[in-house]
Chains A and B, each alone.
Chain A
Amino acid sequence: MADGSAPAATIRLPGPLRERAGRRASVPARGATVRALILDLDQQFPGMRFQLCEETGNLRPFVNIFLESENVRDLQGLDTPVPDGGTVHILLAVAGG
């Protein structure tokens, strides 16, 4: 886990990512930004970052991350601050119709 003083958030995972997280639909993570949360997730569940982000660091095009009900792409992207106690939803984009 990340720095224990960092804000704690609840991460809601989509079905295809749950196997990597011990079949859990929801996991805790710590981090002041979405990017930091992803790094913490990757520490807990190695390989998770690659599934969410390309090697360039950009979020994969068909992955959406919502902080509460806001798509972080409409906020500050991966640098969006995450408040303590926040809920982050990782979702598959509607791709294909």
Chain B
Amino acid sequence: MAARRKYPKGTVMLSIGTKRGLFLLTSKDRRTWKAEGPYMVGYRVYHANLDLRNGPRLYAAANNDFFGSAVRYSDDFGRTWKEPEQGIAFAEDSGLSLKNLWIVEPGRPSEPETVYCGVDPAALFVSHDRGQTWAMNQGLENHHTRRRWEPGNGGLCLHSIVAHPDNPRRMWVAISAVGVMRTDDGGQTWKFCNKGTRADFLPDKYPEFGQCVHRLLIHPTHHDVLYQQNHCSTYVSDNSGDSWAEIRNNLPSDFGFPMAMDPQDPDTLYTIVENPEGRTNVTNQFTVYRTQNAGRRWERLTKGLPKGPTVRLGVLRHAMSTDSRDPCGVYVGTNTGQLFGSRDRGDSWRLIADFLPPIYSVTATVL
């Protein structure tokens, strides 16, 4: 094994997935950042996640335009990469073929060898050996409504995976444009959890499924509480997804992709809502929105963020992240290659990096 690079304890590492590979940015003080990479320049890295549960292993949802997709992993912070012995693929007689990997998520703390991956066409894959071999969840794939699922603009993508931290039989996934689904039996069966969320683009605005959920989060201590940013507003559930209540309130748009949470204060959420036609900031001011009371009221965060008639920035669903330091850092990547960061819970912002390829994902990890 190649020697691991050493980083001081407390270093924040940002894994930046882009259209042209993966970048790693590190900082001890969150003021000055060191960039490494790009790694895997021939890949569209939709998501990357540094898993610290069993020694640092960096996973990347790596999509190649020519030769297909694989969850690649590195044990030396990107210097060398490995591919699975048995990668993610559909059965040959399924009639399906893998389009893109969308998210790779480490499993629960109690299952340190387990990793999950969501893909397009919508399916959930699991590895119980740290990414060396993968198997498809059959319960979701064989769901009785599967043939009626319709894609969103980005594809029929399973983009959010939330494992209940304590209950190994419970998990939620979010699929565009199907909605939120939950299993309570370890993945054998799945039920829809979309009651109260709108689908303005369908004749029935409140269908059982067909909602275009964009991002799903769980409260870190109250595990019945979930949040979602949706194509059609922002929502909270306090009953594990059985029903949802709208928390858009004073947000200027229904439409947004990313969502993140302050782990020190989980009533503090961040989102970015956009003009739904242009899919960029609503006004001339690029703005991050923060609530400190679980969505009852949203604040506009603009200090240090760009403004002007030509400022039109879009942020994709995985391109916002928080770190676990106190006060928490917040990081936002745009699909035009700007990376902004805040070291004071969003009160003020700085441009950390510019001229990156289009940013698909930002994941912050404290080493």
On whether the two chains bind one another, the answer is yes
The residues of A with any CB-CB pair to B shorter than 8 Å are 16-17, 46-47, 50-52, 54-58, 60, 62-63, 92-93, 95
The residues of B with any CB-CB pair to A shorter than 8 Å are 42, 64-68, 83, 85, 87, 89-92, 94-98
Find out whether the CB atom of A50 lies under 8 angstroms from the CB atom of B89.
Answer: yes
In Å, the complex CA distance between A55 and B65 comes to 15
Q: B64 to chain A: which residues have CB within 8 Å?
A: 16
Find out whether the CB atom of B85 lies under 8 angstroms from the CB atom of A16.
Answer: no
In Å, the complex CA distance between A95 and B95 comes to 25
Partner of B90, one of A51, A55, A95: A55
Q: For residue A52, which residue of chain B has the nearest CB?
A: B67
Find out whether the CB atom of A17 lies under 8 angstroms from the CB atom of B67.
Answer: yes
The 4 closest A-B pairs by CB, nearest first: A54-B97, A51-B67, A55-B90, A55-B97
Q: B95 to chain A: which residues have CB within 8 Å?
A: 56
Find out whether the CB atom of B42 lies under 8 angstroms from the CB atom of A16.
Answer: yes
Partner of A51, one of B42, B68, B92, B97: B68
Add 8 more A-B contacts to A56-B97, A95-B66 (CB < 8 A): A16-B64, A46-B85, A51-B67, A52-B67, A54-B68, A55-B94, A55-B97, A56-B96
Q: A52 to chain B: which residues have CB within 8 Å?
A: 67
- Distance from B100 Cβ to chain A, minimum over Cβ atoms (Å): 13
- Distance from B109 Cβ to chain A, minimum over Cβ atoms (Å): 31
Find out whether the CB atom of A55 lies under 8 angstroms from the CB atom of B87.
Answer: no
Q: B98 to chain A: which residues have CB within 8 Å?
A: 54-55
Partner of B66, one of A46, A47, A56, A60: A60
Find out whether the CB atom of B65 lies under 8 angstroms from the CB atom of A95.
Answer: yes
